[in-house]
Amino acid sequence: MDIKNKVAIITGGCSGLGNATVHSFIEQGAKVAIFDINEEQGAAIVKELGPENVMFKKVDVRSAQSVEDAVASVVQTFGAVHVCVNCAGIGPAKRTLDREGNAMPLEIFSNVIEINLIGTFNVARVAASAMSKNEPMGEAQERGIIINTSSVAGYEGQVGQAGYAASKGGILALNLPMARDLAPLGIRVNAIAPGTMGTPMLLNMPQNVQDGLVNDIQFPKRLGLPSEYGALAVHLAQNAYINGEAIRIDGALRMQAK
């Protein structure tokens, strides 16, 4: 897909991987709709990049109505939806049982599943509906692409990551059947599984903590750059033959138990 003048929805676009992806798509000439809950930061990004290029909608990805209304607004403003990149998510750390043998509160597990997995599917399903109305594009005659964010924790969840790993493993499992569901419409579905990325949250940690996170990364021996995630999302949109695939971006990291 030639993404110049195409329209991309990016959830979690106010910070971290999502914000880097917003900039990557804008640099390629796309229009971007940011779905996030941070209204102040959303307004600042629109001011920075220009309302002709970016729009912001406050969206609760868990809510069907919130997402449906937001996607309808994107179509009304920019005319279509061609790309959806789901970056919104949370990553609470909590063991199944604490040191005293108390069970993890169920709402912690439920919340991460609702935001990371159900929220991803919620946005993807509504974006796919909008994409299905597009005219086929290019040699591949595609109508759109959905890119969901998993994690290396979806493969190798660590101690304290039961909820997070389950949510990200669910995104991996979602990938192929959704790609098969949407293939007759010319809509592709892929996932990116980042390793330890240099998001603001991690970069604000003490240097010794950052150094510890890098220990098991093979090469390059550093945290991943959010811009590298954004560049991969752009490539997935541009490369019509990548479909139903989950791509790790982790410097050959394989997570240890803790």
Catalytic residue ranges: 164
Are 88 and 15 in contact, with CB atoms under 8 Å apart?
no
State the amino acid at position 135 in one-letter form.
E
> Is the preceding omega at residue 206 within 30 degrees of 0, hence cis?
no
Sign of CA dihedral 167, 173, 177, 183: positive
Place of tokens 């890098």: 214
Q: Which residues, in sequence order, are bridge partners of residue 36?
A: 58
H helices of 92-248, where?
A: 106-112, 119-131, 162-182, 200-203, 207-214, 226-238
Q: Give the separation between CA 57 and CA 51, rounded to whole angstroms.
A: 12
- 60, 66, 68, 71: CA torsion to nearest 10: -70
What are residue 22's DSSP bridge partners? none
DSSP run (H or E) holding 16: helix 16-27
Element holding 44 (H helix, E strand): helix 39-49
Tell me the CA distances in angstroms from 251 to 8, 46, 223, 237, one per residue in order.
27, 33, 9, 22
